[in-house]
Amino acid sequence: MSLSDYFQPTEGGDIVFSVESSKIKFGCGALREVGYDARSLGMTRVVIFTDPNVAKLEPVSIALDSLKGQGLDVAIYDRVEVEPTDRSFKAGAAFAKDGKFDGFISVGGGSVMDTCKASNLYSTYPAEFLDYVNAPIGKAIPVPGPLKPHIACPTTFGTASECTGITIFDFLEMKAKTGIVSPRIRASLGILDPDCLKTLPPLVRAANGFDVFSHACESFTARPFTKRPAPADPTKRPQNQGANPYGDIACLEAIKLMGLNLVQAVTAPKEANLEALMFAGMLAGIGFGNSGCHLPHGMSYPVAGQVKDYQPDGWISDHPIVPHGISVIVNSPSVFRLTGAACPHRHIQAAEAIGIDVTGIDEKDAGNFLANKIIEMMKITGIPNGLKGVGYTEDDIENLTDGAFPQKRLIDNAPMPISREQLKAMFQNALSYW
């Protein structure tokens, strides 16, 4: 492809990429319009999904007033678990089924938006729980048809769940994170209102910020779409298409915005930072929603799923959790040190976008430069020091490797083939950074 050398055609590789995204509304105060949007989508009887903490905050009362102001019948489901499990997906789906709602509104972070997507799915097309779940844990049966309309209103900025056809949960029985992936579960509209971020605790901001950064960096350094085997027919083209020219634009801008705003947004936040972070989160979401993440996210699933006793400040949860953004970024420096060799120029571009002076950088140091910058930012923003910082030791490396290696959707999207030994070495090198 003439747009970049990275997209050279390969034998048997795909020649087409597609672009999909939710409709988005963005701006301070946008949440006040949710009632109009719900009516436009034909909703009359809706449920607001939220978690017990966000339920007490302003965004829920703003959404409630706006929906009632437009004459809608509104119920509230405020029992979403933070870092949701199959148990909480099932509970949300049961509430949704009983309520016979014709529309869904989620107000909260990724945990809330994901639970709302799953509840919409299982109440609209009831099935055995594992039917729609990604293989190999589930059967990955395609979602049978369109879901009820869903307006996703994030109160965090990291996951971009409002843009993606993905929902993630912790499968308790296997102590493993997995999910459901289908364009059909994408929200009908995302309302991004930076005013909703004002109350976010500092470490949640940091975790969200690094989630955004890693989404963008992973998608930008992913295997090019031209190296992924062409699908047997166009309906089989995966959402994780690999890096592509459209994703690149969104990702590079997101990395730049994170470089300019992340540290300040945690240490001395200003309103302008919040707007930039939310915009960056959305851009990275469009990027990874079409290109796909790779190793740091694939490795994050067992890091979150096999949690021991880590309980971070800022998350309201009655059990230990390694929050998503933290479970990702503790792996990222170790990964980029390895993947730097596969596409050095892309790692240099990412390093430049985050604000490093790359003049004269030798290509063989590209991954290290990027990794060192991430580590510096992790230290300033209070992120734990690698896997040891969230409670793991040398003895856990085998189990973590076993948990990550089957995450084919993500591992295969890395810019180079990854053996089990390499994966294990990356966990080893992620134990501590300073």
Ligand X SMILES: NC(=O)c1ccc[n+]([C@@H]2O[C@H](COP(=O)([O-])OP(=O)(O)OC[C@H]3O[C@@H](n4cnc5c(N)ncnc54)[C@H](O)[C@@H]3O)[C@@H](O)[C@H]2O)c1
Q: Under rule CB under 6 A, which residues in 354-413 are in contact with ligand X?
A: none
Cβ-count burial of 316 within 10 angstroms (0-12 exposed, 13-18 middle, 19+ buried)?
exposed
User: Among 207, 118, 105, 119, which residue's Cα sits nearest to residue 156?
Assistant: 207
Cα 345 to Cα 137: distance, rounded to the nearest angstrom: 36
Q: How many CB atoms lie within 10 A of CB 86?
A: 18
Binding mask 189-228 for Fe ion (x = CB under 5 A): ----------------------x-----------------
Residue whose CB is less far from ligand X, 111 or 188: 111
| Site membership for ligand X, residue 133 (CB under 6 A) | no
The token pair at 170 is 């912790």
**Residue range at the interface with ligand X (CB under 6 A); choices 31-39, 80-88, 144-152, 344-352:** 80-88
User: Among 142, 157, 65, 143, which residue's Cα sits nearest to residue 108?
Assistant: 157
Cβ-count burial of 340 within 10 angstroms (0-12 exposed, 13-18 middle, 19+ buried)?
buried
| Site membership for ligand X, residue 273 (CB under 6 A) | no
Q: Which does 109 bind (CB under 5 to 8 A by kind): Fe ion, ligand X, none?
A: ligand X
Q: Which of 22, 120, 159, 214 binds ligand X (CB under 6 A)?
A: 159
Tell me if 137 sits within 8 A of 178, measured CB to CB.
Answer: yes
How many CA atoms are closer than 13 Å to the CA of 384, on its beta-carbon side?
A: 23
User: Among 250, 30, 270, 242, which residue's Cα sits nearest to residue 152?
Assistant: 30
Q: Which does 333 bind (CB under 5 to 8 A by kind): Fe ion, ligand X, none?
A: none
| Site membership for ligand X, residue 112 (CB under 6 A) | yes
| Site membership for ligand X, residue 191 (CB under 6 A) | no
Give Cα 57 to chain centroid, integer Å.
23
| Site membership for ligand X, residue 266 (CB under 6 A) | no
Q: Which does 91 bind (CB under 5 to 8 A by kind): ligand X, Fe ion, none?
A: none
Residue whose CB is less far from ligand X, 155 or 334: 155
| Site membership for ligand X, residue 166 (CB under 6 A) | yes
Residue whose CB is less far from ligand X, 113 or 374: 113
| Site membership for ligand X, residue 83 (CB under 6 A) | yes
Residue keyed to tokens 């973590």: 400
| Site membership for ligand X, residue 265 (CB under 6 A) | no
Tell me if 152 sits within 8 A of 109, measured CB to CB.
Answer: no
**Residue range at the interface with ligand X (CB under 6 A); choices 150-158, 266-274, 339-347, 369-377:** 150-158
Q: Which does 168 bind (CB under 5 to 8 A by kind): ligand X, Fe ion, none?
A: ligand X
Tell me if 83 sits within 8 A of 56, measured CB to CB.
Answer: no
User: Among 245, 352, 240, which residue's Cα sits nearest to residue 295?
Assistant: 240
| Site membership for ligand X, residue 54 (CB under 6 A) | yes
- Per CB under 6 A, residues contacting ligand X are 51, 53-54, 57, 82-84, 108-112, 114, 155-156, 158-159, 161, 164, 166-168, 196-197, 199-200, 204, 208, 315-316, 324-325
